Structure 1
Amino acid sequence: MSLFGKVEGDVEIKASAEKFHEVFSGRPHHVSNVCPDKVQGCALHEGDWGNEGSVIYWDYVHDGQAKVAKERIEAIDDTNKSITFKVIEGDLLQEYKSFRIVVRATPKGEGSLVHWSLEYEKLKEDVPEPKTLLQFLIDVSKDIGTHLTA
């Protein structure tokens, strides 16, 4: 059994790919205003909002528990509306040796299709796949989509 894995999921939202991408690339601190039940805070730890290499600190509730994550923005692709985050500290690294999150928004009809990809290496074989985290990110995407079209 491999310790490396990847889970992926999609969600359709009514907001444009450009607007959704702008939230995660340049204004992730607004996510806590949009869905405060899921994300309690997002702070810039290093660098500048919207720049590769910047470090963001997240406070969130996942599976009913308060958690934290510190992520470095590895890549922002404005053409393909994608952002790559690498988790460098926090709760996820108690179970995973490495964790990378890629989110991409693609125009679809009047809205967009948001694709999440979670790539990871488990510390042990019995660590579950991060499927509930994937669902959490899909739910956050729905909240953002609703907020952007309200």
Structure 2
Amino acid sequence: MALSGKVSIEFGIQATISQWFNLFHKNLSHVQNICERVHQAHIHEGDWHTIGSVKNWTFIIDGKPVKHKEKIEAIDENKKTITWSFFDDDLGQQYKVFILTMELNEKDDGSYLLKWTIEYELVNENVEPPYSYLDFLNKSSKHVDDYLVGA
């Protein structure tokens, strides 16, 4: 079994690209109030929106709380992408590398697509690839999209 890889999920969204990008770029702290699977989030170092800033998060993954730190690695306002690295705490016990990228695109027909990609490296061969995180992203994204459409 390979210890590193990449997994992704892509689906249509109803809210606009600018609504999604604004939430995750300028109002990330609100995600904990929107998604029931996000239980806690607070600043560890820096602020909510600057590259290099570190936050502490608790997500519910497979019905259990998972703690980790998150750092913004890159923001591309033109391409509407944001990349974060996740590390330490519970997550760090399973993954040496865990990089999440959010990509927002408009299709030719004017509809919108959201793509989440996780690049990872497992700590050992007994750890599963992060499919449960894709499930978390899928379900949480539906909550976010419903919130943004209603906003």
Aligned residues: 149
Select the structure with the greater relative contact order (CA < 8 A; seq sep ≥ 6). Answer: 1
Deviation of the 1:106 alpha carbon: 1.3
Instruction: Note closer, same or farther for the CA distance 1:58–1:111 as it changes in structure 2 (3 Å cut).
Output: farther
**For the residues of structure 2 that align with 1:133 and 1:20, how far apart are their CA atoms?**
19
> What pairs with 1:15-94 in structure 2 (closer than 5 Å)?
15-35=15-35, 37-94=36-93
| Paired residue secondary structure (1:75) | strand
Is the contact between residue 10 and residue 116 of structure 1 (CA under 8 Å) also seen in structure 2? yes
1:11, 1:115 within 8 Å by CA — same for their partners in 2?
A: yes
Unaligned runs of 5+ in 2: none
For the residues of structure 1 that align with 2:110 and 2:28, how far apart are their CA atoms? 23
Equivalent residue for 1:128? 128
Query: In 2, Cα distance between the equivalents of 1:22 and 1:112?
Result: 15
Map of 2:97 onto structure 1:
98
Q: What is the CA RMSD across the aligned residues, in angstroms?
A: 1.4
SS at match of 2:88: strand
Moved more, 26-35 or 40-49: 40-49
**Structure 1 unmatched ranges of 5 or more:** none
SS in 2 for 1:127: coil
State the TM-score, normalizing by the size of structure 2.
0.92
**Aligned residue identity for 1:75:** A
Distance 1:125 1:59 in 2: 25
